[in-house]
């Protein structure tokens, strides 16, 4: 990480556009200008070109302070704040399956483990610690996503004729998926909370980046060959962050 990137990381972790919550800074090599995105639960992401100075980001956020607050207020009206509660049931629409979560009595140790038994996920260990329980549940979600999404991505790769080298499962806070220049597709396990059609679209979208590592007209034309309804699905995907439960801690 170069000095500018370190400064951005420190800045994004310490500065706030208002008193309610902070914002994250994401460098994008394809970005030509700074932009701001406000998520349904109020989180703010600033996308910047490579090597953008922290003082430039700070000025940009301050310039858009009123817009950020207005966007947050609009989301708060449509999506009232939800309290944090560990789940007793986790529904995963992407695979059409609900799971019951069972917490064993807290015991010694410094971690929480999980084990799956059919449609029941059992957490054991230091289950009185909410953060450790969430970490265990997120590891479980990543395992489910890896098992369920790998064959689907392989099938769509064959269907579209767009190859990839590796699939990584991650819990990104800023994107549903990505395709690196080395051929690695990263899939967000939070896609498990979305409808199958949207998950399929995301996978096709990332596979098409094998030919066009941008969002040019040629990229969208290629995508349209495999998913004619891509415009509607792309809009739907952008508005799906509020489908991820609060306890996951992604947004």
Average pLDDT over residues 191-212: 97
* Same structural domain, 223 and 161: yes
Which of 51, 78, 105 delimits the end of a domain?
78
Residue that wins the pLDDT comparison between 82 and 48: 48
* Same structural domain, 31 and 139: no
Average pLDDT over residues 215-241: 93
Closest CA to 116 of 133, 106, 101: 101
Which of 14, 43, 78 delimits the end of a domain?
78
* Same structural domain, 61 and 108: no
Q: Which of 57-61, 105-109, 185-189 has the highest mean pLDDT?
A: 185-189
pLDDT of residue 47: 84
pLDDT of residue 41: 65
The number of folded domains in the chain is 2
Q: Could you tell me the sign of the dihedral formed by the alpha carbons of 242, 235, 198, 138, in that order? A: negative
In a domain, residue 84? The reply is no
* Same structural domain, 100 and 191: yes
In a domain, residue 83? The reply is no
For 207, how many CA atoms within 13 A lie in the half-sphere containing its CB?
A: 25
CA–CA separation, 9 and 12 (whole Å) = 5
Looking up residue 96, the CATH number of its domain turns out to be 3.30.2010.10
Query: Which structural domain range is residue 41 located in?
Result: 3-78
pLDDT of residue 80: 62
**Quick one: what percent of the chain has pLDDT higher than 90?**
57
* Same structural domain, 18 and 112: no
Which of 42, 58, 78 delimits the end of a domain?
78
Q: Count the Cβ atoms, other than its own, within 10 Å of residue 176.
A: 22
Q: Which residues are bridge partners to 177 per DSSP? A: 187
* Same structural domain, 189 and 236: yes
pLDDT of residue 240: 87
In a domain, residue 143? The reply is yes
In a domain, residue 29? The reply is yes
> What are the distances in angstroms from CA 236 to CA 82, 179, 227, 242?
22, 20, 14, 11
* Same structural domain, 72 and 176: no
**Residue whose entry in the numeric block shows the structure tokens 């990137």:** 5
**pLDDT, tens digit (0-9, with 9 covering 90-100), for 123-178:** 999 999 999 999 999 999 999 999 999 999 999 999 999 999 999 999 987 789 99
Q: Which are the contacts of 50, defined by CB distance < 8 A and separation ≥ 6?
A: 27, 28, 29, 31
13: confidence class by pLDDT, cuts 50, 70, 90? very low
Residue that wins the pLDDT comparison between 218 and 80: 218
pLDDT of residue 156: 98
* Same structural domain, 197 and 132: yes
CA–CA separation, 249 and 168 (whole Å) = 20
CA–CA separation, 9 and 233 (whole Å) = 32
pLDDT of residue 149: 98
* Same structural domain, 108 and 192: yes
* Same structural domain, 63 and 129: no
* Same structural domain, 220 and 177: yes
What is 7-41 written as a DSSP string? Answer: HHHHHHHH--SSSS--EEEEE-TT-SS-EEEE-TT
Q: What is the mean pLDDT of the chain?
A: 86
**pLDDT, tens digit (0-9, with 9 covering 90-100), for 92-123:** 999 999 999 999 999 878 999 999 988 999 99
**Quick one: what percent of the chain has pLDDT higher than 70?**
86
* Same structural domain, 99 and 187: yes
């Amino acid at each position: 990480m170069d000095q500018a990137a370190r400064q951005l990381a420190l800045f994004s972790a310490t500065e706030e556009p208002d008193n309610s919550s902070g914002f994250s800074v994401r460098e994008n090599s394809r970005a030509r200008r700074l932009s701001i995105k406000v998520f349904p639960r109020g989180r703010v992401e600033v996308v910047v070109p490579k090597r953008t100075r922290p003082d430039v980001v700070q000025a940009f956020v301050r310039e858009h302070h009123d817009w950020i607050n207005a966007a947050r207020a609009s989301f708060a009206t449509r999506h009232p704040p939800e309290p944090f509660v560990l789940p007793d049931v986790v529904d995963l629409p992407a695979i059409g399956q609900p799971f019951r979560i069972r917490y064993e009595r807290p015991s010694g140790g410094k971690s929480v483990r999980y084990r799956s038994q059919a449609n029941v996920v059992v957490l054991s260990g230091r289950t009185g610690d909410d953060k450790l329980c969430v970490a265990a549940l997120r590891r479980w979600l990543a395992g489910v996503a890896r098992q369920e999404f790998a064959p689907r991505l392989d099938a769509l790769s064959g269907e579209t004729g767009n190859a990839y080298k590796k699939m990584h499962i991650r819990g990104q806070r800023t994107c549903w998926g990505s395709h690196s220049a080395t051929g690695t597709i990263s899939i967000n396990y939070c896609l498990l909370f979305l409808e199958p059609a949207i998950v399929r679209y995301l996978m096709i979208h990332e596979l098409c980046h094998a030919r066009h590592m941008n969002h040019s007209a040629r990229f969208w034309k290629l995508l349209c060959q495999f998913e004619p309804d891509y415009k509607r699905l792309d809009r739907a995907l952008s508005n799906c962050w509020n489908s991820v439960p609060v306890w996951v801690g992604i947004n």
